[in-house]
Chain A
Amino acid sequence: MLLECMMNGHAILYTGVTLAFWSTILIVGLCYTIFDLGFRFDVAWFLTETSPFMWANLGIGLAISLSVVGAAWGIYITGSSILGGGVKAPRIKTKNLVSIIFCEAVAIYGIIMAIVISNMAENFSGTTPESIGARNYQAGYSMFGAGLTVGFSNLFCGICVGIVGSGAALADAQNGSLFVKILIVEIFGSAIGLFGVIVAILQVK
C-alpha cells in the first residue's frame, strides 16, 4: 500500500527539492525577523554590488540558449511527424521542410540578438556604485532584460511552430490540400518570435 501512496521517482525528487528550498527560505527569514536583523536583507545592496557584467552576460546567454531550446524542441516535434508521415506518403517530405525552416528561424533570431547585445557590452571603470554610475547599471539590466525577452519568446514560438508543423505534416499526409491552410497558422505562430526580437532591440537601444 505504501508503494501506491508514493509518487514516482521524479515527483519525489522535485517535492523534496522544493521542500528543502522553501523551508530554508522560511527558516532563514524567520531567524532574521526574530533577531531584528531584517535590515540586513538589502535588495538594493545586491543590485548595486553585483557587477553589471553578470547581468549583461546572463542576458546574452539566455538569449541564445532559450532560443535554441525552442527551435530544437520545435524541430524535434515536427521532424518526427514528417519522418513518420513520410513513410506512408513520401510526397510530403519536401513541402514540409518549410515548417522546419520556421523553427530554425527562431534560433537565428536568438543568435542575432545575442551578437547584437554582446556588441553593446563594453568595459567600464569604477568600483563603487557611485563611480560606476547609473548608466552602466542600466545597460547591464537592459541587456539582461533583452536577453530574457528574446529568449523566452523564441522558446515558446519554437514550441508552437513545432506542434503546428507536426499537425501540418500529418494532415498533409492525409489530404494534400490542407497544407496551405495550416501554413497560415504557422505564420502567425512565427510572428510572436519576431515580436520578441523587436522588443529586445528596443530595450537595448
Chain B
Amino acid sequence: LLISSPTQPPPAAGHIIGQQQLTSYLEKALNEGPRNVVLFLQDKMSIEDFTMYGGAFGNKQDTAFPNLEGALMSSSSRLVLPAVSWPASNAVIGQLQDQLETSPLYMDPETLSQLRLNASSPALLVFRLPYGLGADLMSAKEILSGNDEVIGQVLSTMRARAVPYTAIYTALQPSRVSPPHQRRAPERERQRRIKEKAGVYAPVEFKEGEDTCILLWAKGLSVSILRSGRWEEHDLTPSTFGEGVSPQLHGSSCDKSKSKLVLNYENVLGHRSFKLIFAMSQRRYQVSARRWFTLDAVELEYDRTTARFNGSRKVYAPAEYSYRCESVTNFRWPQLVPRSLNDPANQWRVSFQDFQIQGFNVSGSEFSYASDCAGFFSAGIWMGLMTSLLLVLVLTYGLHMIMQLHTMDRFDDPKGPAISVPQTE
C-alpha cells in the first residue's frame, strides 16, 4: 500500500500490517492530510511486482512505474507499507468510507475531468485497475505499465485542478502467495520477535562533561555475604541496568591514566549505603610496546569498611579496546582475588555475568572491540594439540622408516628359473 500522506514512521522491514494498524495509519493520514482521497485499487498486488518491474536492479529506465515514482517523489510526504495482510487491504474501501463519511465514487480518467472537486468536502474517488490472469509474465508488465499510465493521467488531472489530495495505491488481494505459506509465517514471526527482544539494554555510562568516559554492561551483577554460615545474596542487576534505570554514579572520576566507576546503592544486605567501585588504570608497557588497561580493584564499600578485590592479573585489555568476559567472579574460575588474607573481601562473593567494561578511549557511547577473556583455543586444547603433534611426528618418523625398507633384489633374475624348494631333506 502506498500513500501520499503526512510523514509517519515507516514500519519495520518484514512487518505485516494488520487491520488495526492499517486503520490507525489511515486515520492519522486523513486527519492531518487532505480529505480528498484518490484510491487506486488494483485487483492484485505484491511487493514482488515492484521488485520485478520497478527497475530495482539498476535498470531504472525499464521501470513500469515512471508516473508512480514521479508522484511519490514529488509528493510532500509519503508512506510505503510493503506488507499489508490481505484481509485488511480488502477492507480498505470500507475503512475509508467510514473515516471520510462519504460513499466511494467509482471512476475512470475520463469521468474524472467532468467531476467537480472541493477542497473542503471529503471525497473518495476509486479507480479500479486490472491485474490480469497472472499466467503470462510479459502481460503482467504491460498491465502494470498500463495501470501506471492511468495513475499518471489521474494525478496530472488532480494537479491541474489544484485540489489537495491524498493518493492511495493498493489492492484487494496479493498477487503472489508463497506456497509454503506456513513456513513464511514463523520466519516473519521470528523477525518480529527479534525486533522486540527483551534483555537488551544500554550500558551504564559515566560522562565527564559531554564525553562518555566509562562504560559498563553486564547481564547479571550480584554480591553475596557470608553471615552465620550462610551466603546471603543480593542481585544488583535491576538497580543498575534496564529501561529507565539510572544508577547513581557519584564519586566516579576519570582522567588519562585512571578511571573509577562508583555505583551507589541503598539498602543492600542490610547496609544503608553500599558502593560498588571499579578502579581501572592504563599505562604503557615497554615489552609489548602498547598501552594496556587493567581493572586494578573491585571494591565494595559499606558502613565504613571496604572489601577489596584485585583484578589486575586477569582483567586486562589493550587500552583502545574493551574487556569482556562471560563470568567474572571471585569463587568460580576466579578473576578477582581478595587483596590480602585478612581483607573483608574474604567474606564476600561477587559475580558478574556477561561482563563488559571499558574505562578509556571511549568514542561515542559504544564499546570498542571487545577483547574477550576466552581465547580461540583453551589451555586444554593447546596441551592436546602439542601432545598430538608430538605423537604424529613420531608416527611420521616410524612410517618413513618402514616405508624405506626394501626387500633385497640384488640376486633377482626374472628370466632365470624359479626357485624350487625340495620337499625332502
**A residues adjacent to B (C-beta < 8 A):** 10, 39-40, 42, 45-46, 49-51, 54, 58, 65, 127-130
Contacts and interface: CB of A to CB of B under 8 A. Distances in A.
Nearest to B401: A73
12 contacts: A39-B288, A39-B290, A39-B371, A46-B379, A46-B382, A50-B383, A51-B383, A54-B387, A58-B387, A58-B390, A65-B394, A128-B334
Given A40-B375, A54-B387, A10 B400 contact: yes
B403 interface: yes
A130 B386 CA distance: 24
B379 A50 contact: yes
A10 B403 contact: yes
B313 interface: yes
A45 B375 contact: yes
Nearest to A48: B379
Nearest to B404: A10
Contacts of B371: 39-40
Closest 9 CB pairs of A and B: A49-B379, A54-B383, A50-B383, A39-B318, A50-B379, A46-B382, A50-B382, A40-B375, A10-B403
A65 B393 CA distance: 13
Interface string B94-124: 0000000000000000000000000000000
A49 B386 CA distance: 13
A50 B383 CA distance: 6
Contacts of A130: 313, 337
Contacts of B387: 54, 58
A58 B334 CA distance: 29
B143 to A, nearest CB: 53
Nearest to B372: A40
Contacts of A39: 288, 290, 318, 371
Interface in B266-322: 288, 290, 313, 318
Given A58-B387, A128-B313, 4 more contacts: A42-B375, A50-B386, A54-B383, A54-B386
A50 B378 CA distance: 9
Nearest to B317: A39
A142 B34 CA distance: 89
A45 B167 CA distance: 67
Contacts of A49: 379, 382
Contacts of A127: 333
A156 to B, nearest CB: 14
B421 to A, nearest CB: 21
Contacts of A58: 386-387, 390
Contacts of A54: 383, 386-387
Contacts of A10: 400, 403-404
Interface in B394-412: 394, 400, 403-404
A45 B382 CA distance: 11
A19 to B, nearest CB: 15
A78 B337 CA distance: 61
Nearest to A9: B403
Contacts of B288: 39
Contacts of B404: 10
Contacts of B382: 46, 49-50
A195 B387 CA distance: 27
Nearest to A21: B389
A39 B292 CA distance: 10
Contacts of B318: 39
B288 to A, nearest CB: 7
Nearest to A17: B396
A30 to B, nearest CB: 16
Contacts of B390: 58
Contacts of A42: 375
Interface string B369-388: 00100010001001100110
A129 B288 CA distance: 21
